Chain A
Amino acid sequence: MPEPSMILFDDPHHAEDVVRRLRECGVDDVHVTSPAAYPVTEETKPPFGWRLFGLLALTGGLTGLATAIALVVHGSETVPLIVGGKAVLAWPAFSVVMFELTMLGAGVANFLGVIVLSAVARRGLPKRARMAAAEGHIAVLIPAGEHSAEQREEIRRVLEDEHGVAA
């Protein structure tokens, strides 16, 4: 697979303008490496949406809740203590454990989601782009994919205007 062309920027706003300019002419597969979460990182097409993280947290939370219910019911029925006249299965008293484990499950699932999906998101990233971000630059990567004549002309113009490095 051919290496993408790369343009280096020191001004995040400038990089943002260029990415927007490319997207306006239909070049959607632009990628960026950046030393911080500058707005330009939101201009490219995100690999995963908000919904995925919501679902991950929800799944983790529900798993935590189910674990909590199983734990309190099994634990209380195994040792049926009557405390303060409360029923053995006293749901108000159990609600605290259920809440805590729900939140724990949601948080842990969210964290694991970031770790696993990050590994997926950075696949195929050229080393020179990583190095550029490490040195504090913002690198805009334009893949050498199938582009129309108009898009190729716009990419050429952008590379020329911004002193980009073609692969």
Chain B
Amino acid sequence: MTTATLSDTIGADMEATIARTTWRYWLALLFAAGMTALGIWAWVQILQDGFGLTGLNTPVMWGSFITNFVFFIGVSHAGTLVSAILYFTKSPIRAGVGRSAEAMTVIAIMTAGLFPIIHLGRAWLGFWLMPYPNQRQLWPNFHSPLIWDVFAISSYVTISALFLYMGMLPDLSSLSRRVRGVRKYVYRVLSLGFSESDGEWALFERAYPIFALVVIPLAVSVHSVVSWDFAMALTPGWHSTIFAPYFVAGAIFSGVAMAIILLSLLRRGYKLQAYIQEKHFDALAKLMLSMSLIMTFVYCTEIFMAFYHGESVEIDLYIWRMTGPSAPLFWSVIFCNSVVPLACFWRKIRFDLRALIAISVLVTIGMWLERYMIVVTSLSHGADPATWGSYFPSFHEILITVGACGWFALWFMVFVKFFPCISISETKQAQVAFSTVPSAGTEDSSEEPHDA
């Protein structure tokens, strides 16, 4: 296949994902929009009537909102981080998974960023978090991990969005010559005049690694900072030095699971079997399995350390988590995050997309429950038995959680409708460099699977 034919085929396939809109897409979009509307309705109710509509009360003042915040920050983690690592390792699978994963990152941070604002209660005062000279003569407290979050997340969302945008410039330029009407104009403006000259490619090849080099430590720092929101407090179950790597590993784990779900939907919905191949899922499944093993190790270490250093409140908390009223939560987390992913040791499972989706869904649920367990059980069973209490999300909090999932899905669907979900230029490059991407339109030609 010549480069001209290849360009034409890849370009046409990506153009089709943008131009072709099936009734299934509209139905899914409507469903996601409906979920989002429910969440917005619940939030408006809380803004009108106050936090009495939530289940939050002393001692559990952080509940489902903070759980959602940590969960979506975690989901955001795998995208840009994995994409940058795949870039450095010159992995052939990056062409297929990188773009969607990067988009997932940006959308997940956008979703996560809503929750601190919702959790404020008086959301209209959210700008008080921003450090700027103001008439109140007040500055945020830079000693507080909560203000570190503001800086970490703002930096991460900016750099992730620029990383995604920079990678899309050649594709936007290519699409501007393929489509017509308003889109042609919009793509041309967004491509910033990129014209595929050797000078521009050389610039691209020099700037991109530096960008990737900035993204990796930033991604690691973001979830570390989120973990310090907890670890800096003297609350039993939170005050642990292992929290930063624990959260980073968990974030990659949940992010990879979400990437598998989204990529499988894209592959099926847009018939992208030629680009998102079984070997991509195999690689992601292996990564998910590795992360699961790390998570299991961390769970064991946490319990071991609690019992080893012999502090009674810590021991009591962990025994209560495992055997008390929250035991179903604890064992569900272990089942979803430590037991279920072990199935990925079998190559048949890694190459069976339905099984992989089922595992990924369970991991996603398990990781949400784990965040919930960390946030809620530590607060409800603190050091002083006189302050123990219980918490369950209210109807409004559940609706906001549903709304957040809808919001995430809605923006992802909007993204794939307007932008190529697979990098056109990188797919062309991979075709020449690795000769592993099959000719577009053909069925998956992955090599025979082999054991992990």
Q: A-side interface residues toward B, CB under 8 Å? A: 9-13, 31-42, 44, 46-50, 52-54, 57, 71-72, 74-76, 78-79, 81, 83-84, 86, 90, 93-94, 96-97, 99-101, 103-104, 106-108, 110-111, 113-115, 117-119, 121-122, 125, 129-130, 133-138
What distance in Å separates the Cβ of A140 from its nearest Cβ neighbour in chain B? Answer: 9
- B204 CB to closest chain A CB, in angstroms? 6
Give B1-39 interface residues, CB cut-off 8 Å to A. 2-8, 11
Write the B111-128 contact mask toward A (1 if CB under 8 angstroms, else 0): 000000000000000000
- Asked if residues A90 and B203 are in contact (CB atoms below 8 Å), the reply is no
Instruction: Give the segment of B64-72, B205-213, B296-304, B306-314 that binds chain A.
Output: B205-213
Those of B399-429 within 8 Å (CB) of chain A = 425-426, 428-429
Contact A100 B218 (CB under 8 A): yes
CA distance A37 to B170 in the complex (A): 10
Docked complex Cα distance between A95 and B159 (Å): 19
Residues in B neighbouring A133, C-beta threshold 8 A: 195-197
B203 touches A130 (CB 8 A): no
Interface size class of B (residues with CB under 8 A): 35 or more
Q: Can you spell out 29 A-B residue pairs with CB atoms less than 8 angstroms apart?
A: A13-B432, A31-B199, A32-B197, A35-B428, A38-B432, A42-B202, A42-B205, A46-B198, A47-B202, A53-B210, A57-B214, A71-B142, A72-B142, A75-B140, A75-B142, A76-B139, A78-B139, A100-B218, A100-B221, A100-B225, A107-B159, A110-B211, A111-B211, A114-B203, A114-B204, A118-B200, A136-B3, A136-B4, A136-B5
B158 adjacent to chain A (CB < 8 Å): yes
Report chain B residues within 8 Å CB of A34.
196, 198, 201
- Shortest distance between the CB of A78 and any CB in chain B (Å): 5
Contact B193 A118 (CB under 8 A): yes
Task: Tell me the smallest distance from the CB of B94 to a CB of chain A, in Å.
Answer: 13
B4 contact from A72, A100, A135, Cβ within 8 A: A135
Stretch at the interface among B148-156, B256-264, B281-289, B352-360: B148-156
Q: Beyond the given A83-B141, A110-B214, A134-B177, please list 6 additional residue pairs across the A-B interface where CB-CB is below 8 A.
A: A37-B429, A42-B202, A103-B217, A106-B214, A114-B203, A122-B195
Contacts of B141 in A (CB 8 A): 79, 81, 83
Given contacts A35-B425, A57-B214, contact A75 B195 (CB under 8 A): no
User: What's the A-B contact tally at a CB cutoff of 8 Å?
Assistant: 203
In-complex Cβ contact of B198 among A41, A101, A113 (8 A) = A41
Q: How far is the CA of A111 from the CA of B218 in the complex (A)?
A: 16
Given A78-B137, A108-B158, A108-B162, residue A11 in contact with residue B2 (CB < 8 A): yes
CB pair B195 A94 closer than 8 Å: no
By a beta-carbon cutoff of 8 Å, the part of chain B in contact with chain A is 2-8, 11, 131, 137-145, 147-148, 151-152, 154-155, 158-159, 162-163, 166, 170, 174, 177, 192-207, 210-211, 214-215, 217-218, 221, 225, 228, 425-426, 428-429, 432-433
The distance from the CB of B198 to the nearest CB of chain A, in whole angstroms, is: 4
Q: Which of chain A's residues have a CB closer than 8 A to the CB of B197?
A: 31-33, 121-122, 125, 129-130, 133
Does the CB pair A103–B155 fall under 8 Å? yes
Contacts A94-B142, A107-B215, A110-B211 known; A10 to B2 CB distance under 8 Å? Answer: yes
**B210 pairs with A122, CB closer than 8 A:** no
Contact indicator B143/A86 (Cβ below 8 Å): yes
The 6 closest A-B pairs by CB, nearest first: A136-B7, A121-B199, A75-B139, A136-B4, A10-B2, A36-B428
